[in-house]
A and B are shown apart, each in its own frame.
Chain A
Amino acid sequence: MAKYLLKRLGFILLSLFFIVTITFFIMKAAPGGPFASERKLTPAIEQQLNEIYGLDDPLYKQYIDYVISTAQLDFGPSFKYVGQSVNGIIKRSFPYSFILGMEAILLSLSIGVLLGVIAALKHNKFSDYAAMVIAVLGISVPSFIMATILQYIFAIKLQALPVAKFDSFAHTLLPAIALATTPLAFIARLMRSSMLDVLNADYIKTAKSKGLSKRVVTYKHAVRNAIMPVVSYMGPLVVGILTGSFIIEKIFAIPGLGNEFVESVTNRDYTVIMGTTVFFGALLLVSILIVDIIYSLIDPRIKITGKGE
């Protein structure tokens, strides 16, 4: 187990190195720069700014400097917000994104799995069709449309929930629902088909033939086996929630990390782009590792060992 974790950690660091390298050069290749704006700076001032931030160094030196400071977990100062470090920006805005993301993940998992199980148990009956209509709608309606519809109904018409900002639990509901809709629908469909498969499995017959009640057969024998595909979907789910949050945070004016990320790209705020990209990358890689570990805990056939590929 320890050997396995060490190995995975090595892979994560290697992946992060590639992410840093590729992002760095693509970003540099893009036209424009942090100090390019409508109001032209005098060459002398621009020269001075470039010197301060090290932008006049040759590219390879900038790259090496960046890799070294990143390895020390220092993402440098922001170019646009004077006096703020990238670390500070991440520290300030990530908690918002984290709460939003976790809420969305919990929501899509719990309701998605529940809908899927109900649909499978009531196969080809009304509840099944109802759940699947919800699922198809959820998959086809993009999150930003969902967000505006939710805002219109719950915030403007019913005045039940706040339309934007992120101050209390009530503020988190609409963005979390909007963010969760698509993955929720996907999980419901996944769970339904997997559950239908499992319910036809021989070991379900064995469980019934022992005289176990339908409830015990469903929850102790069927759901645990049927949930495997959902667990493997957790990796892509985290990605979907992350990228989805870029848009949702913008719509609901949430000062989260996704918002900062989008801003930094339009601002050509080099260090913030790099810092947030690396941070998101690390987050994603770690969550995939966690999913793999969860998978091995649920399915005893999957063994975690350091050996062999």
Chain B
Amino acid sequence: MSRILEVNDLSVSFQTYHAEVQAIRGVNFHLDEKETLAIVGESGSGKSVTAQSIMRLIEMPPGEFVDGSIMFAGEDLTQKSEKQMENIRGKEISMIFQDPMTSLNPTMTVGKQIAEALIKHQHMSKKEAHNQGIALLKLVGIPNPEARINQYPHQYSGGMRQRAMIAIALSCNPKILIADEPTTALDVTIQAQILDLMRGLQEKVGTAIILITHDLGVVANAASRVAVMYGGKIVETGTVDEIFYNPKHPYTWGLLGSMPKLDGSHETLQAIPGSPPDLADPPKGCPFVTRCPHAMKACKEHMPAYTNLSDTQKTACWLLDERAPKVELPESAIVGGTTVHG
């Protein structure tokens, strides 16, 4: 498998009236061809900023690339001009968003919205784009596409709108699809359908997917590798099995512990107490220190380096240092075999 995207030490900040908010601080990850990488974390951890940085959808100013690079096809996306990015967006990398209710233009027919990218990138005529649009709607499972293509988004249900968004995103066979919480705004049955659809299309089209979510159920269902983000940093990364069965970072434990269990072993949901750090004034050491039950002196002062646990798993935590006391995986974070790949 070859690498198609490599994010190196990426730091993005936003200038606000009060301070510089360091939304992501030195993020490293890569994406291989045809794989699905999940980026997991709670609100404000920097997931969406990471995704929008790759697409260069962040308004600059107030946003700015402070450091690092985003290597795609041998070129650094942070250095591209707006004009060059127009030829990458939608063609090489495309994106679907969280809320299908608001992510389609209400005054334009779905067909026209699909056709735009086709006309721009594939140089199709209006007629060809229209026919291709019908084929795409059929592909994403919208019944009666010949009639549906001329309808407006308000005539679609939420699930259908997300299907239409997927049709738009995949219209030019992009190499990377970034899905920013694609199922969060949908109800559970539709979520499963949309995930199935994305997985099916990934096989057909051969697109690599970056799946951004806070829902570990979705991760188990759809991803092959996981990067756990917290406080603008990736604190742990590994394959789905490693993250679910052998997590090493207390934040990952917290995330797993806060997932509802099917076997009823926990009466109430476990929350992680406290709130994420203020990134306008980021902590010197580990960002999780104020909420971590195992915090030590070193955690406050120094950011832990990554410990390579396997070829694929890397964790940034002082507990993995040989001088640290041994901490057992808490019972709440133990995942029953039935919940993963369910």
Which residues of A does B touch, CB under 8 Å?
201-203, 205-214, 216, 220-221, 224-225, 298-301
Q: Which residues of B contact A206 (CB under 8 A)?
A: 95, 97, 103-105, 113, 165, 168
B102 interface hit (Cβ, 8 Å) = yes
Q: How far is A213 from B88 in the complex, measured between Cα atoms in Å?
A: 12
In the complex, how many angstroms separate the beta carbon of A199 from the nearest chain B beta carbon? Answer: 10
Q: Contacts A205-B57, A300-B152, A301-B154: A210 and B106 contacting too (C-beta < 8 A)?
A: no
Candidates A203, A212, A224, A299; contact of B86 at CB < 8 Å: A212
Q: Is the CB of B106 within 8 A of A207?
A: no
Q: Which residue of B lies closest to A207 (CB)?
A: B105
Which residues of B does A touch, CB under 8 Å?
55, 57, 82-83, 85-91, 94-95, 97-99, 102-108, 113, 116-117, 120-121, 152, 154, 165, 168-169
Q: Is the CB of B86 within 8 A of A301?
A: no
Q: How far is A211 from B83 in the complex, measured between Cα atoms in Å?
A: 9
Q: Which residue of A lies closest to B120 (CB)?
A: A211
Q: Which residues of A contact B113 (CB under 8 A)?
A: 206
Q: Contacts A210-B120, A214-B82, A301-B154: A203 and B89 contacting too (C-beta < 8 A)?
A: no
Q: Which residues of A contact B106 (CB under 8 A)?
A: 203, 225, 299-301
Q: Is the CB of A203 within 8 A of B102?
A: yes
In the complex, how many angstroms separate the beta carbon of B117 from the nearest chain A beta carbon? Answer: 4
Q: Which residues of A contact B152 (CB under 8 A)?
A: 300-301
In the complex, how many angstroms separate the beta carbon of A236 from the nearest chain B beta carbon? Answer: 23
Interface centre among B55, B116, B117, B169 (most CB of A within 10 A): B116
Q: Is the CB of A209 within 8 A of B95?
A: yes
Q: Is the CB of A205 within 8 A of B97?
A: yes
Q: Is the CB of B116 within 8 A of A210?
A: yes
Q: How far is A220 from B107 in the complex, measured between Cα atoms in Å?
A: 10
Q: Which residues of B contact A216 (CB under 8 A)?
A: 116
Q: Which residues of A contact B103 (CB under 8 A)?
A: 202-203, 205-206
Q: How far is A210 from B108 in the complex, measured between Cα atoms in Å?
A: 15
Q: Contacts A202-B102, A298-B107: A209 and B120 contacting too (C-beta < 8 A)?
A: no
Q: Is the CB of B95 within 8 A of A212?
A: no
Q: Which residues of B contact A211 (CB under 8 A)?
A: 85-91, 117, 120-121
For the A-B complex with A202-B98, A205-B57 known, give 12 more contacts whose Cβ atoms are closer than 8 Å. Answer: A202-B97, A207-B105, A210-B116, A210-B117, A210-B168, A211-B86, A211-B90, A211-B120, A212-B116, A212-B117, A213-B86, A214-B82
12 A-B pairs with C-beta separation under 8 A: A203-B102, A205-B97, A206-B103, A206-B105, A206-B165, A208-B89, A210-B117, A211-B85, A212-B90, A212-B120, A300-B152, A300-B154
Q: How far is A212 from B119 in the complex, measured between Cα atoms in Å?
A: 10
In the complex, how many angstroms separate the beta carbon of A293 from the nearest chain B beta carbon? Answer: 16
Q: How far is A203 from B83 in the complex, measured between Cα atoms in Å?
A: 20
Candidates A210, A225, A298, A301; contact of B89 at CB < 8 Å: A210
Q: How far is A224 from B107 in the complex, measured between Cα atoms in Å?
A: 8
Q: Is the CB of A209 within 8 A of B105?
A: no
Q: Which residues of B contact A213 (CB under 8 A)?
A: 83, 86
Q: Is the CB of B107 within 8 A of A225?
A: yes
Candidates B57, B99, B104; contact of A208 at CB < 8 Å: B57
In the complex, how many angstroms separate the beta carbon of B59 from the nearest chain A beta carbon? Answer: 10
Q: Is the CB of A201 within 8 A of B102?
A: yes
